[in-house]
Chains A and B, each alone.
Chain A
Amino acid sequence: MIRFSDAALLALTKLRTRKVRTIVTVITASLLFGTLVLATLLVGGVVDSAKRFTKDSLSERYITNVQDFSGYTLYDGTSPELQARANEMYIKLVADKKREAARLGAEYDSNSEQKPTTKGPDNISYLDLTSPAAVLAIREHIAALPPTIEKLKTAAAAYHPKSFYEMKANAMPGEMTLMVDGVEKYKGVAKENYFYSPAPDVDRGWSYLDASITNQFLLDSAHLDAQKNIQDLPIIAPYSKVEAALGLKKLPKSATSQERLERSSYIRKHAASATFTACYRNAASQLQIGEALRVAKEIEQNKTNKEYQKPSLIYGVPAATSCGPAIVSRDVRTADEKKQAEKQLQFDRLFDSRVDPVQQKVTFRVVGLGPDGFSGESFSSMSALVSAVAGSSLQGMWVVPQNMYDALPNKQSYAIFDPANAQFDPQAFPAQNVQLVEFTNVADAKAFSATGCTGMDCGNGKPFISYFGSNSILLAEIISTATKTIGIAVLIVGVIAALILMGMIGRVIGDSRRETAVFRAIGAQRNDIRMIYTIYTIALSLLIALVAVIIGVVVALWIDHKWATEATAQAQVTFVGVDGSEKFRLAGIWWSALWVVVAAVIVAGLVSMLLPLSRNLARSPIKDMRDDT
């Protein structure tokens, strides 16, 4: 067979034939493949930038978030056994209350004691969660269960888990109100709608989380060391809340990327000086304040009413800055009334620990910055896109680093919020503890995630499992999705390009019938001809690939130039743990995908050559020489 160098010489000479047609074909095919090259460069750039931005953070860690809606799955309200136990407790409770009421001289009507079960419209008997006996039975049942984390370890064992963590929700058998400018607003202030706020206030609750996960969100240690208010509760706060706490107004949408970068830098530098104050009140405290406000209003309304008699016991509203208890401002009760009230209080205390009013002013000091939640903006904006890619599951959440909490000198003063003291409260929305499971690779994490529930079947025993952390698994998902998408695109573009190339290469081979005939006449074998055209096709394909890469690179660089600053500004805000000098580049090389595109060009070319060449070789050289004469 002809030597490769000789075949290459003859093949490359062909590129000089039909120059206009060759140029048109190269440009057309290059534009097609150029779009694929562009896609790989942009995906490569975004993924690479996201990885850099989350380096030394939750990147490279594969963590899943498991929520098993304990409130609904830890017990079965229709269970006959549980209902029987609740009934036992009801009977005992009524008996105990009667006995104590008699002993203390307090008033007690057993008919008012809520029975533990009720029938629903389906005529099925359920535990009535308003019944103290039912609640006691449920608490007893849950307390006897193995810790949820043990159940999780069993479920995850098959997927080679690396570590387990719990993100524990704070206990809060009451309500918290943010003290804006240090003032507690008792009424008339609508709280932010939790479901639609990208970053709700701390009064909606916070979580305690292991240091190995919270560390990457912490502020610079120099800033932390400079904090004087070390007795305040340390907390990682959402970016926008810290911004507000520092007295900064949100930048307008028209703000330039540079302005946003500067704002981000300022916030990082001063966040350690930001504090939040909230006032906690349990139900009894709220009741007293509510009663105080009601009576105050009543008194005001009856100011001129001579027949109006003020209640014998009046609570006054405490100073708005104090978060203090309701103060008794008038107590003209008789001695008997006071005594009876005291007996009743003693009686109530025996069976409900929450009867005494509890209030506490809590000041939080910012020790870290977390990204805000997803704002609902469409992905069509660069900011939203970057936010989604580099975002974190801490989005909008307030998190207390467990190690910093444990190190507080006055940790006991926060005991009421300590998750360890949390009791099951059926009246509260199930703000459950969230378990985190860490794996060593994407495959195990995804396999475990697939065992969770989706949509409507959640709450039926299967936990809801999602990915946690900045971008580790999300990036793997992006790459996987991008790979599939680009793969399909390569196939489609490859077919189109093959058809275009078939037209052109077919014409070239067709036009070379006589040349092929002459070569055959002077001794060329069919394989010699095949090698010449194969080299020609590969050379043409490589030329197309080269032009496609140039087109893709030029456009990618233009996109990067145009939007990189905006992307960087958003990424700096979204992922606050990153070095402030890091740039979010939109163009980068995804080598494996790029080689696939180049290979696709060559394959398209070779495929397009097959039919015309086989036809050419099957022809009679004599006929071809004659036809052109």
Chain B
Amino acid sequence: MLISCYDNDYMSDDSRLFDHEIKEFIRLFDNDSLRAVRAVHAYAHTKRQQPAQKASASAGPVVVDLQDVKKTYKIGRERIAALDGVSLQIRQGEFVALTGTSGSGKSTLLQMIGGLDKPSEGIVMVDGFDLKKMRDGKLSKFRNQTIGFVFQFFYLQPFLRIRTNLEVPGMFARTKRSVRRNDIQRLAQAVGLDDRLGHLPRELSGGQMQRAAIARALLNQPKILLADEPTGNLDSVNSDAIINLFESIRRDFGTTIVIVTHDAAIAARADREIRLKDGVVI
């Protein structure tokens, strides 16, 4: 069945289906191979018909709205402006890349959106919440439910199995264990780690660890996924696979993706690139 799909001349590089998409079809059609094959063909045809352009969510609502956001740090007697009047909007379902040189403020901007930091001036509205006015408890809940973080160094807990690592956001959300387990199973399949759930992080490769971190970030079905240099520690093959995963997540779940990256090739794959320099958008 899988071989049939891959070999089918309907498939082209543009509309190539991912393994997980094929498996999903199989599952949906209860292993009825005939129906599944027909559905695959229909889906592939649809994809082929779509313009060969990056998917755009321009019609989606604004989920991130920054208005003249400034962030100043005091280091000794000096005041450093990490952000100096940033205004931007990101819509639901967009894949946005934040680029710029070191110290340009891109990570600071990401942290503002994620509620990890508060602006010195300006307004940060995310999913309708004014983050500047939110207290610590509500911000924590906001980060847990609305945001998913992916870090450059994965930050998995070394003494917890991958399964338990993935459960951690659900623990803070007080989700029942049975529900968490089901979701983890699904997510693990989606990121291709279903056979690694019982392993410790040190037993995984860099790419696998980052996929685990992504699955962890997706457990509570966040609206926005924020990734800070997610491929910074990976080779090109794994980097590519991670970006592919982001694209599929955006496509399948409608999640808004915002990544910070130095890599131009990765930035090119985003719907939109926002460049920063010296704390301002250029």
- Interface set of A (CB-CB < 8 Å, partner B): 1-3, 5-7, 9-10, 13-14, 16-17, 514-515, 518-526, 528, 620-622, 625, 628-629
Contact = CB atoms under 8 A, between A and B. Distances in A.
Interface string B137-165: 10011011100110111010101100010
A523 B169 contact: yes
A629 B153 contact: yes
Nearest to A12: B159
A521 B116 CA distance: 7
Interface in B113-154: 114, 116-117, 136-137, 140-141, 143-145, 148-149, 151-153
B253 interface: no
A518 B164 contact: no
B111 interface: yes
B164 A519 contact: no
A518 B153 CA distance: 11
B174 A515 contact: no
B28 interface: no
Nearest to B153: A629
A53 to B, nearest CB: 54
B120 to A, nearest CB: 14
Contact of A523 (B144, B159, B167): B144
Contacts of A3: 171, 174
B237 to A, nearest CB: 23
B217 interface: yes
Given A3-B174, A6-B171, A525 B140 contact: yes
Nearest to B145: A523
A295 to B, nearest CB: 106
B80 interface: no
B70 interface: no
A10 B165 CA distance: 10
A2 B151 contact: no
24 contacts: A1-B174, A2-B174, A6-B171, A7-B171, A9-B164, A10-B168, A13-B157, A14-B159, A16-B159, A515-B155, A518-B151, A520-B143, A521-B151, A522-B143, A522-B144, A522-B168, A522-B169, A522-B217, A523-B141, A523-B173, A524-B144, A524-B172, A526-B140, A622-B111
Nearest to B152: A629
A519 B168 contact: yes
B171 A2 contact: yes
Contacts of B159: 13-14, 16-17
Which 8 A/B pairs are nearest by Cβ-Cβ distance?
Answer: A523-B144, A6-B171, A525-B140, A518-B155, A523-B172, A523-B143, A13-B159, A524-B172
Contacts of A621: 116
A526 B136 CA distance: 8
B172 A528 contact: yes
Nearest to A1: B174
A7 B167 CA distance: 12
B155 A625 contact: yes
B211 interface: no
Contacts of A523: 140-141, 143-145, 169, 172-173, 220
A127 B191 CA distance: 114
B106 interface: no
Nearest to A517: B155
A620 B117 CA distance: 9
Contact of B117 (A13, A17, A519, A622): A622
B250 interface: no
A625 B114 CA distance: 14
Contacts of A628: 153
B223 interface: no
A519 B111 contact: no
B80 to A, nearest CB: 14
Contacts of B220: 523
Given A525-B140, A625-B155, A13 B160 contact: yes
